[in-house]
Structure 1
């Protein structure tokens, strides 16, 4: 009996960036370390958001993956995938100012993201998707078949690794979430708010 075809998405939040969206020295170092970790895998393709911080991170990763094709994917751009009709009180300020048109645009972008990437393959693939916190949160929520509002609070760190596997005829498998084992302690948890982290 042959094993089912598997699509493995290696989801990466770009390395730490400055206020202008440029990778910092920390972000470049994080990306190098993640590239070294991924180098042991049979990666087919590296796709990245159009935004510069993700594109630069993807270039660094691809340098460690000489057999992988590098492509931009507009579906990976940073966006708010879902605006709750009644945001939880702790999130009300975050959504203040979002109108119906912006919410509809986010929903269209979220559908494009899952439509392209959250599905079983025609062949075995290992893809790296370099994107942003919110698209990763949305793909994780989708894989777990959780209610739409559950993307809130899923906040992967810079250069963290999340892996989801898709196979025909079965639910997706969340293999890893927010794994930062390739980073030394001083490079972990960037991209988060203040407070202690394990």
Structure 2
């Protein structure tokens, strides 16, 4: 049975200009150390600077693993819910999205699923891939794996370098192995990326 193991990680903590902070670099390095014990075949990252910088830090701990950019991992809104699907707390967020923007985001989301959320093509062997991306894209892949309604991506967030693992096996539904695991981070580096009022 062929299995694709996807290791999904949000980029490290970044400043308002999209550049990694010192904390973000430390988070990314620690995630790389955690993944160094896994049989990683490839690392893919979003084109955005904060994800590319996170990947450089992470990849130093995976010296023989190929690294490449994947356009589908860019930060985007994967699905703009209809007014009756939108929680009141999110209503203002979607006010500025027109139909063209919503369609573009949905096309990217569909491309993300089509490329990564499946059993790998080719010879029957397991594949282990790391995707360094953004909270919305992780939420979309988790929603897809759970076959949840489209608006449910809104209720999912990931901390910076939180690790989510999804497995895709031939003939079986996807398996959620873990979501937003922060075990590689010391307490002072956990939960960045969430509003401080939500920190445990």
Cα-Cα RMSD: 0.9
Deviation at 1:97, TM superposition (A): 1.0
In 2: Cα distance, 1:181 partner to 1:72 partner: 26
Deviation at 1:90, TM superposition (A): 1.5
Structure 1 counterpart of 2:47: 50
The alignment's TM-score, normalised by the length of structure 1, stands at 0.96
- SS of the residue aligned with 2:155? coil
In 1: Cα distance, 2:69 partner to 2:57 partner: 14
Structure 2 counterpart of 1:62: 59
Structure 2 counterpart of 1:72: 69
The alignment's TM-score, normalised by the length of structure 2, stands at 0.95
In 2: Cα distance, 1:78 partner to 1:127 partner: 19
Deviation at 1:67, TM superposition (A): 2.1
Q: Does 1:167 align with 2:186?
A: no
Structure 2 counterpart of 1:126: 128
Deviation at 1:111, TM superposition (A): 0.3
Number of equivalenced pairs: 195
The structure 1 residue matched to 2:30, chosen from 26, 33, 50, is 33
- Structure 2 portions without partners, runs of 5+: none
- SS of the residue aligned with 1:177? strand
Q: Does 1:177 align with 2:179?
A: yes
Moved over 6 A (4+): none
Structure 2 counterpart of 1:117: 116
Deviation at 1:94, TM superposition (A): 1.1
